[in-house]
Amino acid sequence: MSTVQQPDLSDRPARLTVGVVGAGRVGPALAASLQLAGHRPVAVSGVSDASRRRAEAMLPGIPLVAPAEVLQRADLVLLTVPDDALPGLVAGLAETGAVRPGQLLVHTSGRYGARVLDPALRAGALPLALHPAMTFTGTPVDVQRLAGCSFGVTAPEELRLAAEALVIEMGGEPEWILEENRPLYHAALALGANHLVTLVAQSMELLRTAGVEAPDRMLGPLLGAALDNALRSGDAALTGPVARGDAGTVAAHVTELRRHAPQAVDGYLAMARATADRALAQGLLKPELAEDLLGVLAGGTNGTHGTEGNTR
C-alpha cells in the first residue's frame, strides 16, 4: 500500500494524451501504466527494430512517428532516451519549435533533475523529472512491477501535485530528490542494482565452473535472504570470511579466482576491501584478525588465520 497520501481527484491531472520519445524498455511500460489509469497513448517514436517491436507489443495500435510529431500529438510527452542523449534531444526539440506551451514534458533519467529541461521550459513546457527506481525487461511484466515502485521526482514546486499524481497513477510512490542530489541518487541506485547483476552473473559462472548444475536455484534462497537481511539490518547483516577475518579462506578464494576466472579477481578484492572496512567500523571484524586479511587483500595470498569455511 502506498505510504503517500493520495491527492484529491481535483488535484489529479486531467485525462491526457500521452506520447513516448524513445521506445526503449522504460517508455512503453510507463505509457501502458498511464493507459491503465485512463490516459490515452497517441504516438511513439523509436529508431531500432527492437524498439519498434517493443512499442507494438506494449502499445498495440499506437502509431510510430518522428519525435517532433509525438510532441505535436501529445499533452504529456515521456522522454525515455539514454542519459547522455537527453540534453541534445531537449535542445533540438526546443530549437525546432516542437515544444508547445503548457505541454507536460517528463524525462525518466536518474542522473538529471528538471534543469535539463530548461530549453523546453523557456518554450513554455512544464518540466518534470520522474525516474522509476526499477529495472525493466521491455515486457508487460514491467507494468506490474511499477506497483509500489519508488520514483525519484524533481520538479518546480508549482508542479509538485501534478508530479505526485502522475507517479501514483502509475502505481508508484514519489520520493523527492533535490536537483543537486540527482547524480548522487543515481550513483547509489547503480551501485546497488546494476552492479548486483554483474556480481550475480559472475557468481553463477563460477558455480558452473565448480560443477553446480543449477546455480540459479542454489543462489536464489541465499541471495534472497542476504538482500532481506541487508535491507533490514544494514552492515549488521555482514557475514562470511571477510567479516570473520578468515584470511586463509580469502587467500584460497583469490588463488582459485586467479586460476579459473582472472577477470573476477579485481572485483573480488575491491568488494572484499570495502566489506572489511565496513566490518571493522561495525566491530564485526576483530582488529587482531584484520592485519593478515588486509595483507591478502593488498595482493598477497598467504593468510595465517582461518580455515576453509562456508558462507555462514
DSSP conformation letters of 4-47: SPPPPGGGSPPP-EEEEES-SSSHHHHHHHHHHTT-EEEEEE--
pLDDT greater than 80 at residue 7: no
Residues of the chain with pLDDT > 90, as a percent, come to: 86
Least trusted range by pLDDT, from 44-58, 78-92, 114-128, 203-217: 44-58
pLDDT of residue 14: 67
Q: CB-side exposure of 107: number of CA atoms within 13 Å?
A: 26
CA distance 77 to 70: 7
Q: Write down the pLDDT at residue 52.
A: 86
Length in residues, the chain = 312
Cα–Cα distance for residue pair 67/20, rounded to 1 Å:
8
Determine which helix (DSSP H) or strand (DSSP E) holds 283, and give its type and residue range: none
How confident is the prediction for the chain on average, in pLDDT?
91
pTM: 0.85
